[in-house]
Amino acid sequence: MTVGVVYDPRFLTWDQWASLMVEAYGGQQLEIPHDERKWKEWANGLHGIGLFNSDAVPSAHAFDKWQDWAMALVGAVANQTQQT
């Protein structure tokens, strides 16, 4: 099982964190986000990438802040890593 790379969002702005994720998954044609207010739409695009298409990956719609969702994503990926 291949496990994705997710950057810790603490101490990063939306633009910084999302840019790191876009760089890491550029081959998957992950869109560069231009509007932090639409972070849930962008998160849905990330969820569509095969590595993140799992029941363990949290839905952005369950969160009000992108940082909380990103931390939950870090936890989900960490759990997948421990299981492999």
Number of domains within the chain: 1
Q: What share of the chain is helix, strand, coil (3-state, %, to 5)?
A: 60, 0, 40
CA-closest candidate to residue 41, choices 30, 29, 25: 30
Instruction: Give a yes or no: residue 6 inside a domain.
Output: no
Please tell me the predicted confidence (pLDDT) of residue 77: 77
Instruction: Give a yes or no: residue 71 inside a domain.
Output: yes
Instruction: Give a yes or no: residue 1 inside a domain.
Output: no
Instruction: Give a yes or no: residue 61 inside a domain.
Output: yes
pLDDT < 70: residue spans in the chain: 1-4, 55, 80-84
Can you give the residue range of the structural domain that contains 39? 14-77
Residues 3/69, Cβ–Cβ less than 8 Å: no
pTM above threshold 0.75: yes
Instruction: Give a yes or no: residue 7 inside a domain.
Output: no
